[in-house]
């Protein structure tokens, strides 16, 4: 059952034609951070995009944030009850119009050329199913950046023991991912489960050695909450075990 069956939408009109790429953001609260994330989408060098914001029953009035941009390429949906990030992403992906979906997080900054660079690569490598790049981490109010160290070129065998793909840099085929979906029972490591589900099916991954996103470190995230961080690691091991039999499958 789709818990997003009764959703509110802003009065803004959305483009009627199919955009070149859809950006999907799942969010709960984080109003001011969401504003910065949306600015980074609006400032993309590529103009042919739509951005779907799925509000997972926030206490903050995120509709005011989104509608305040007066940007017809932004589309706002609100879940009438808290469903979780995986359900929110699945719903946003189902609403996407483009063949390609770029994952974005509500607290991160997308560099201006992210979408243009991604689509340029895909235009010259049409067999690609999933593409990802590098990201740098930062803290609000600080100017220093540090690389997210695990990112590397795609290696299918290694992926079954290490998640080296930064979720917020990924763009994937809409039809392929909608056929699989994020596991809505997972809270943490849901991205890793999706990568392995795609690897099980021998999806074609590609890596661009360019920085796509600035990843914000702050208190309200899995990596800074000991309990949630432990849950994420536990889920990662469960995901590895669930997909292990596909590792050497041809």
Nearest CA-CA partner of 26 in 98, 110, 82: 82
- Residue of 155, 140, 173, 172 lying closest to 32 (CA atoms): 140
Question: Quick one: what percent of the chain has pLDDT higher than 90?
Answer: 73
Q: What is the pLDDT of residue 223?
A: 56
Per-residue model confidence (pLDDT) at position 220? 62
Determine the average pLDDT of the residues in 138-156. 86
Quick one: pLDDT at residue 148? 81
Return the CA Rg of the chain.
Answer: 17
More confident residue, 6 or 199: 199
Torsion angle, alpha carbons of 125, 24, 243, 135, to 10: 70
pLDDT tens, position by position, 149-181: 789 999 999 999 999 999 999 999 999 999 999
Lowest mean pLDDT among 36-50, 91-105, 214-228: 214-228
CB < 8 Å & 24+ apart, contacts of 230-237: 231/187, 231/188, 232/188, 232/189, 235/186, 235/187, 235/188, 235/189, 235/190, 235/192, 235/193, 236/163, 236/188, 236/189, 236/192
Task: Give me the chain's average pLDDT, please.
Answer: 89
Instruction: pLDDT band for 140, please (50, 70, 90 cuts).
Output: confident
4 pLDDT more than 50: no
Residue 202 has pLDDT above 50, yes or no: yes
pLDDT at 221: 55
Give residue 136's Cα distance to chain centre.
Answer: 16
Residue 134 dihedral angles phi and psi, to the nearest 5°: -95, 160
Residues 219-230 have a mean pLDDT of 66
User: CB within 8 A of 248, min separation 6: which ones?
Assistant: 157
pLDDT digits (tens, 9 = 90+) for 88-100: 999 999 999 999 9
User: Could you report the per-residue pLDDT of 184-193, keeping only the tens digit for each?
Assistant: 999 889 999 9
In this prediction, residues 45-70 reach a mean pLDDT of 95
- The pLDDT of residue 250: 63
pLDDT of 224 over the 90 cut: no
Q: Band of the pLDDT at 14, cuts 50, 70, 90?
A: very low
The pLDDT score that the predictor gives to residue 200 is 97
Checking if the pLDDT of 9 tops 50, the result is no
Please tell me the least confidently modeled range out of 78-82, 114-118, 207-211: 78-82
């Amino acid at each position: 059952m789709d818990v997003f069956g009764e959703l509110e939408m802003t009065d803004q009109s959305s483009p009627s034609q199919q955009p070149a790429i859809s950006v999907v953001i799942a969010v709960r609260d984080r109003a001011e951070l969401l504003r910065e994330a949306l600015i980074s989408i609006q400032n993309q060098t590529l103009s042919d995009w739509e951005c779907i914001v799925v509000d997972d029953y926030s206490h903050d009035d995120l509709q005011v944030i989104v509608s305040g941009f007066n940007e017809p390429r932004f589309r706002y949906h609100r879940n009438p009850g808290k469903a979780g990030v995986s359900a929110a992403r699945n719903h946003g992906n189902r609403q996407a119009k483009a063949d390609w979906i770029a994952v974005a997080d509500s607290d991160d900054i997308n560099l201006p050329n992210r979408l243009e660079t991604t689509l340029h690569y895909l235009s010259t490598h049409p067999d690609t199913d999933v593409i990802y790049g590098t990201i740098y981490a930062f803290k609000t109010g600080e100017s220093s950046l540090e690389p997210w160290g695990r990112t590397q070129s795609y290696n299918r065998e290694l992926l079954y023991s290490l998640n080296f793909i930064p979720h917020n840099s990924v763009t994937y085929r809409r039809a392929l991912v909608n056929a699989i979906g994020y596991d809505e029972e997972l809270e943490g490591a849901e991205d890793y489960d999706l990568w392995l589900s795609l690897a099980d099916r021998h999806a074609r991954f590609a890596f661009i050695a360019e920085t796509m996103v600035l990843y914000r470190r702050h208190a309200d995230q899995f990596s800074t909450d000991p309990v949630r961080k432990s849950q994420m690691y536990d889920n990662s091991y469960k995901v590895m075990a669930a997909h292990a039999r596909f590792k050497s499958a041809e």
